[in-house]
Amino acid sequence: MGKNVLLKKSLVVGIVLLCVCGAIPSVFGMCVSAEIPHARTVNNKALIANALFPRGEWTEQATGFVDPNRGIGYISSVNESVVWAAAFNGDNPSYPCQDFTRTVNGGTTWTTGTIPNSENQFFSMIFALDANRAWAPMCAPQNGVMGLYYTSDGGTSWVRQESADFNYIGSFPNCVHFWDADVGWCMGDPADGYFEIYTTTDGGTTWTRVPAADIPAPLQGEYGLIGSCCAVGDTVWFGTTMGRVYKSSDRGLHWTVAQTTLRSYTKPAFRDVNHGLVLAIDTAGTTVLSETSDGDVTWQNVAYTGPCYSYDLCYVPGTVDMYISVGASPNASGASFSRDGGNTWTDYAEMTGIPLLCLGFTAGQVGWAGSYNTDAVTGGIFKHVPGISLPAFSIDVTGGKGFTVNVTNVGDEAATDITVNVTVMGGLFITPKEFTDIHTSLQMGGSADVDCPVRGIGLGILTMLPTITVDVICGEGVTATRTVEAKIFFSKVILQ
């Protein structure tokens, strides 16, 4: 294995196992070898035996591992009852671990297991189709057998599906996804000059490698990331180490690639085939998000507000535009949510300070966040259940000839008796300009526009820029406010 491949192994396993072990500085400090970085100090709050949150939106569950400090690095949520999760050794992440855990009753009880005949390997991720069938790409940063393993009996026995070779120079399995019991896709790093991508139509009995002609070439030094993929319908995406996102609209057979605004490790999370976010998972400090609304053609940075964490990000299926983020950095541990596509983030106060490593969600806002266990009966994973259903509002302001305010109900319930008040102040306006719009109802996902034909001069040259303030209230008592600055010259409005 060449030096550049060794470098990548330490980076990829370190970065993607940043969900599992080390702070960012320690990850990059290990670039000279293929070893997985040593464990960082774990926030003890996750290891204290407790029943912290018997009420509210998050409840702690026990993953069932006898060994303490087993971390959960990847979660595959099939439905509200069936969930599989891949583990790692939280005391020594450089030590191979083939442990997994599984529940068939929504997490009331979890049953652990180990993939046999996979010594010296680590989970890249796990994907479950139901309570019995699951696939796991297993990687070996220090060489050795790697590949895709499959179980059809709930994890009691596993077989390596050998036609997904992963045995070239540079091979490194990263991701797997199945659309049904027969049709699936898996991918690994570039081998022989192009990404090692396979498809199957018989449940993995036979895997066929996708030709290089159907996959855009990787950049120099570009690799995939373990578990960094998502799928919506027939479309599947995976992120790379250089801020690019590969996309297939036909279940992995043909691929395109787009450069996001990021230039480093990316994790994609798509709401539908057009709208999605990517998370920079190798950033220390402020989390960086990029978004697309045209199906991965163009991307722009998200100027979000509130706390967004950098360990994992997922769209919550069935919601209008809700995302959840989690983190486990020493000074940024916890969970937060956004109902407006990543623009505004709010902490789950009860989770602040708890290291959370990864996410897996199903429709109905039911999902799980991985953490660390204390023993077989204490901790390791948290279950999220929805709170009271209420409307919620996102507000967008668009400039032009005058300006337009768009209000969208991104909540869990219809809104009634909605009043939208718009006020323009500052600049050279002598008196505030006011607009009011009233709507009887807005269903989930419904939106309403308020046209505001401003006339006047408010340049902000001799005084502060004019501000546009939008206040929304509904009969359910939910409110929302947004204020933006603008340059206004007669009827032309340019937002700042």
Number of helices followed by number of strands (H, E) in the chain: 2, 37
Q: Across residues 173-186, what is the average pLDDT?
A: 98
Query: How far separated are the first and last CA of the chain, in Å rounded?
Result: 51
* Digit-coded pLDDT (tens) for 329-386: 988 999 999 999 999 999 999 999 999 999 999 998 999 999 999 999 999 999 999 8
Question: Quick check: 18 pLDDT over 50?
Answer: no
440 CB burial (10 A radius; 0-12, 13-18, 19+): exposed
Same domain, 432 and 370: no
- Domain boundary, last residue among 331, 349, 384: 384
Residue linked to tokens 């578990």:
227
Distance CA(342)–CA(290), nearest Å, equals: 9
Residue 456's pLDDT is what?
Answer: 65
Read off the pTM.
0.85
Distance CA(277)–CA(136), nearest Å, equals: 25
For residue 204, give both structure tokens.
């993995």
Same domain, 360 and 472: no
Cβ(416)–Cβ(475) below 8 Å: yes
Same domain, 377 and 404: no
Domains contained in the chain, number: 2
**Any idea what the CATH number is for the domain that residue 441 is in?**
2.60.40.10
| Bridge-based pairing state of the strands 159-160 and 173-178 | unpaired
- Domain boundary, last residue among 366, 384, 402: 384
Question: Quick check: 34 pLDDT over 70?
Answer: no
Neighbours of 214 (CB within 10 A): 14
Residue 143's pLDDT is what?
Answer: 63
Same domain, 475 and 360: no
Same domain, 288 and 403: no
Residue 19: DSSP 8-state: G
315 forms beta bridges with: 323
Same domain, 461 and 353: no
Question: Quick check: 433 pLDDT over 70?
Answer: yes
Residue linked to tokens 């992963």:
166
**Any idea what the CATH number is for the domain that residue 375 is in?**
2.130.10.10
Same domain, 436 and 356: no
Distance CA(230)–CA(174), nearest Å, equals: 12
Distance CA(50)–CA(314), nearest Å, equals: 27
Helices (H), 299-421: none
Same domain, 94 and 7: yes
Neighbours of 378 (CB within 10 A): 17
Structural domain including 422 reads 393-495
Same domain, 148 and 257: yes
128 forms beta bridges with: 134
Same domain, 375 and 429: no
Q: Across residues 418-426, what is the average pLDDT?
A: 92
- Domain boundary, last residue among 350, 384, 418: 384
Cβ(341)–Cβ(321) below 8 Å: yes
Same domain, 403 and 286: no
Same domain, 427 and 462: yes
Least confident of 157-161, 296-300, 490-494: 490-494
Higher pLDDT, 8 or 29: 8
Distance CA(74)–CA(93), nearest Å, equals: 14
* Digit-coded pLDDT (tens) for 110-128: 999 999 999 889 999 999 9
Q: Across residues 468-491, what is the average pLDDT?
A: 90
